[in-house]
Amino acid sequence: MQQQQQGTQSNQQQGFIQEPPQVISVKDHLYLNDMLSWNLLAMKKANFYASYCQDPEIKEAITQAGQMHQRHYERLLNHLKPTTEQPTVQ
């Protein structure tokens, strides 16, 4: 328990946040845009090269790499979707 508290305190001291901010800075927005673009391009290239590959093992490895980039792309998009929950006012 004490180690867990020390870990949490050290994370807070290093600047780690527990929840994402409600507003994304311009720099963060540009970085997220780059990450989405990189993953989308890697996915497209992997699918393209896998379609021309003759060796089934290599084709499978390239296909799996493309699927990994697709999962990363979709995960980023899911994190960026706005939440529909509205705070309750009392």
17-76 per-position pLDDT tens digit:
777 677 888 998 899 999 999 999 999 999 999 999 999 999 999 999 999 999 999 999
With contact defined as beta carbons under 8 Å apart, do 68 and 77 qualify? no
53: left (phi over 0), alpha (psi -120 to 50) or beta: beta
Judged against a pLDDT cut of 70, whether residue 83 lies above it is answered with: no
User: Quick one: which of 51, 81, 76, 79 has its CA closest to 66?
Assistant: 51
Domain boundaries in the chain?
A: 40-80
The set of residues, in sequence order, having a beta carbon less than 8 Å from that of 47 and lying 6+ positions away, is 63, 66
Model confidence at 79, pLDDT cuts 50, 70, 90, reads confident
